[in-house]
Amino acid sequence: MATAAQPTRDDFAAMLEASLGTAQSFEGRVVTGRVTAIENDMAVIDVGLKSEGRVALREFAAPGQKAEISVGDEVEVYVDRVENANGEAMLSRDRARREAAWDKLEKQYEAGERVEGVIFGRVKGGFTVDLSGAVAFLPGSQVDIRPVRDVGPLMNMPQPFQILKMDRKRGNIVVSRRSILEESRAEQRSGLIQSLTEGQVIEGVVKNITDYGAFVDLGGIDGLLHVTDMSYKRVGHPSEILNIGDTVRVQIVRINRETQRISLGMKQLETDPWAGAGAKYPVDGKFSGRVTNITEYGAFVELEPGVEGLVHVSEMSWVKKNVHPGKIVSTSQEVDVVILEVDEDKRRISLGLKQAQRNPWEGFADAHPVGSIVEGEVKNATEFGLFVGLEGDVDGMVHMSDIAWGMSGEQALALHRKGESVRAVVKEIDVERERISLSIKDVDSAGSGAGAAAAGGAAAAGGDVRKGAVVTCTVMAVIDGGLEVTIGDDGGSGFIKRSDLSRDRDEQRPERYQVGQKVDAMVTGFDKGRKPTLSIKAMQIAEEKQAVAQYGSSDSGASLGDILGAALNKAREGN
């Protein structure tokens, strides 16, 4: 019988090399092993190598949970090294789970599927998520649709995520919880919006308040309640009538199913105060209201809650022109107004504030008819006349030609200054155009008939020094510019300018007069020192006008010499 051949040294070498080659092939792979023992929080696992390996029990537990493993269980582990310095196999349950998880996650990422994970830690800028062994990063902005202050209730709780980005080489995975919520919300919104109809009345909760309105949660979808749809009355800010958390009853005004936007209204559930406004507020009717808003072009007055009218700046005051409305009325002030126009379709009412008061021009006309004498203060002097403040805050105008007799308009304007009190005759009143014409030069004629006396050439007494009067003067000094004179015995001093010495230009020479000579002249005004200004020229013109009026006319054929001769003869006969 033949005996078996003994293995040679070469055979042992080949067997050892084969054994080592088989062991080396285990490295970097996930293999199945069996738990042979549990010692000091470590699981001893046999994976078929010449030595067993040890894995910490915590690697067998899900985040936040306790490990459930016992002797005899088969588990998948990752072989990092076949043998370490202690002769043991280096195994990892985490690495095995991670490798298996990456294979599965890559397939789900390519298919766009959701993945399940658990938020188990907080890092800078976000949180860490366990995806069945693979660790992913959840940015803070992707936790929820709105910022979340406390993430505690979401920790260690399995929930769906969407993979936004993954890189296996770098071991990076970025996930989002927000995209899942937005998708669910979009589905919910789509279903809810299909169930709503325009005109439907529904209850909601005020979710947010802005300057332009409030967002109302209708049970999964938000609607905008604009400030103009909250009430028929003026609302300055939504917070005046709403608070966050309030339950409100609203009507769906408009639905845009494409953009999923819903417009809501509260005032639509109230009775429209504009209904029948034309009948409630007839034109020319007088009503009381409250000023709610003031602008540059007028003021808004609330006649009743929800019904406002505009008082244009031109309808605010009879006498105050070109002033800001805020200088006439104030917010919350109660005022009387008159209805000027009502447009119920456009929801507009034009109001008049000044119409609720009597027209001051009408009042002035009743109290001061044409021909009466009034007194007022010079408010302004223009190149064509004076404006005089009169009773009732109305102004009258004295044209430059109506200021004084016998002098140019420019000279007459220089006789008066702003703030000076003057008397004048009412010449004309135009109530519709709000104009009053006055005459200062006609005051003496209207009051005492002094003009007739002047026309007759009779000199007034020395003490009767008033505008338009003819006085007898004594020449005190002859100078190049005119004559310094005294008026009567106690009338004070006066001055006759060279240009006022005669109507005839050739006779306007001061050297024709001598000191002590008596001359007659007309008082044409007073200078700033109340010193009378005199004019022989003005007196001659007044006498001529009077003579023409009494003894001739433009079509009588009489010459000026004939007229003046007749006047002189009559004067002699009277003497």
Do both 399 and 367 map to the same domain? yes
Do 434 and 460 lie in one domain? The reply is no
430 and 368 in one domain?
yes
Q: Tell me the β-bridge partners of 33.
A: 75
For residue 18, the model assigns a pLDDT of: 47
Domain end call among 341, 356, 371: 356
Whole-number pLDDT of residue 353: 92
Structure confidence by residue, pLDDT tens digits, 387-446: 999 988 888 999 988 888 767 778 888 888 888 888 899 989 888 888 899 988 888 665
Task: Return the pLDDT at 75.
Answer: 80
Buried/exposed 299-330: b ≥16 CB within 10 Å, e otherwise: bbbbbeebbbbbbebebbbbeeeeeebeebbe
Q: Structural domain tally of the chain? A: 5
pLDDT of residue 186: 75
Single out the residue in 419, 445, 471 at which a domain terminates: 445
Vertex 40: Cα angle to 39 and 42 (nearest 5) = 65
My answer on whether 322 and 369 are in the same domain is no
Q: Give residue 453's pLDDT.
A: 36
| DSSP assignment letter at 531 | P
Last residue of a domain, one of 430, 445, 460: 445
Asked if residue 189 belongs to a domain, the reply is no
Pairing of the two strands 307-312 and 261-265: unpaired
Q: Which two tokens stand for residue 9?
A: 């040294």
Same domain, 459 and 553: yes
Q: Find the helix packing angle between 536-551 and 560-574, rounded to 10°.
A: 90
Assess if residue 147 is contained within a domain.
no
Residues 455 and 530 in one domain: yes
Looking at the structure, tell me whether residues 349 and 364 fall in a common domain.
no
User: What CATH number is attached to the domain comprising 480?
Assistant: 2.40.50.140
Same domain, 244 and 335: no
DSSP per-residue letters across 7-24: PPHHHHHHHHHHHHHHHH
d(CA 510, CA 514): 9
Among residues 363, 376, 365, 369, the alpha carbon closest in space to that of 424 is found at 376
Same domain? 262 vs 289: no
On whether both 553 and 497 belong to a single domain, the answer is yes
Q: Which helix (H) or strand (E) holds 567?
A: helix 560-574
Parent domain of 533: 451-561
My answer on whether 283 and 253 are in the same domain is no
| pLDDT for position 461 | 36
Whole-angstrom CA distances from 96 to 75, 99, 109, 134, 430 are: 10, 5, 20, 10, 107
Same domain, 299 and 260: no
Q: Answer whether residue 67 is part of any domain.
A: yes
| Residues in the chain, pLDDT under 70 | 1-26, 28, 50, 62-65, 85-87, 406, 444-464, 489-491, 527-530, 550-575
What one-character-per-residue DSSP string does 275-337 give?
Answer: TTHHHHS-TT-EEEEEEEEEETTEEEEEEETTEEEEEEGGGS-SS--S--GGGT--TT-EEEE
The DSSP string of 410-430 is HHHHTT--TT-EEEEEEEEEE
pLDDT in tens, 322-359: 889 999 999 989 999 999 999 988 889 999 998 888 88
User: Does 157 map to a domain?
Assistant: no
- Residue 13 within a domain: no
User: In this structure, are residues 254 and 262 in contact, taking their beta carbons and an 8 Å threshold?
Assistant: yes
Look at residue 253 and tell me if it is in a domain. yes
Residue 564's pLDDT is what?
54
Closest CA to 44 of 26, 57, 62: 57
Within a domain: 528 = yes
Nearest to 91 by CA among 130, 58, 52: 52
The answer to the question of residue 223 being in a domain is: yes
Helix (H, G, I), strand (E, B) or coil at 367: helix
